[in-house]
Chains A and B, each alone.
Chain A
């Protein structure tokens, strides 16, 4: 089973600042099989990034994904008030289980 470790657990930032979220895998993950999701309280997760770096439909360009192998990054270039949420990485590489990271909470400083 591939374990995904996200860091930091919580990121305290102000609107307008840059957020950098990390997702490290216990084994190499094909870039085609790494996605990022955003979840706000009481809501279902929303797809942000797939294929490690492709923005999903309707996702603003302040969100970007990068990385390969065992290290992936989600960057929010300038935080908007609606971006304060929990972010999860997810991998589908190789055989199931298709694991999620434990999440990074981006909170208002």
Chain B
């Protein structure tokens, strides 16, 4: 069955960096575009970034552009997001999600999320 498992969250000081990972299994990872979505405490969902199945196209939300970098290693079935210059408002649960096309684009599988806390 399809599984997405995020890791790498934790407590980090403002201005520091963190890299999150999303390990995929149960499907051909290299066939699918992948997304990162986050949720600040008590708030709604915020789309952050997408990477194409080959990794050659990447797009970002304005809130993270220039600070976050999405990447993937198809040989390891793993999605990443490198987060630099972290700010208080970057705190929240970070989800990876698989993009499915055909009949309409959607995020059909999500990980359980990993919590990032930005605090001095």
A47 with B108, Cβ < 8 A, contacts A54-B103, A96-B60, A97-B62 known: yes
Is the C-beta of B107 less than 8 angstroms from some C-beta in chain A? Answer: yes
Q: Is B106 an interface residue (CB 8 A)?
A: yes
A72 to B19, CA, bound (A): 36
Known A-B contacts A44-B111, A44-B112, A96-B60; the reply to A90 vs B104 at CB < 8 A is no
Q: Is B80 an interface residue (CB 8 A)?
A: no
Tell me, yes or no, whether A12 is within 8 Å of chain B by CB: no
Contact between A51 and B104, CB atoms less than 8 A apart: yes
Within 8 A of A (CB), among B1-36: 35
A33 and B60 in contact (CB under 8 A), knowing A44-B110, A98-B47? no
- Write out the residue numbers on chain A whose beta carbons fall within 8 Å of the beta carbon of B44: 86, 88, 100-103
Q: Are A45 and B61 in contact (CB under 8 A)?
A: no
Chain A: minimal CB distance from B51 (Å): 11
| A102 neighbours in B (Cβ, 8 Å) | 44
B59 with A50: CB separation less than 8 A: no
How extensive is the interface on chain B, given as a class? 20 to 34
Q: Which of B46-66 contact A (CB under 8 A)?
A: 46-47, 50, 59-62
Residues of B within 8 A of A100 (CB): 37, 44-47
Kindly list chain B residues whose C-beta atoms are within 8 Å of the C-beta of A33: 104-105
Task: Please report the C-alpha to C-alpha distance between residue A35 and residue B46 in the assembled complex, in whole angstroms.
Answer: 14
Q: Give the complex CA separation of A104 and B41 in angstroms.
A: 16
CB of A35 within 8 A of CB of B104, answer: yes
Inter-chain CA distance A1–B61, complex, in Å, is 10
Q: What chain A residues lie within 8 Å of B35 (beta carbons)?
A: 98
Q: Which residues of A contact B45 (CB under 8 A)?
A: 37, 39, 45, 88, 90, 100, 103
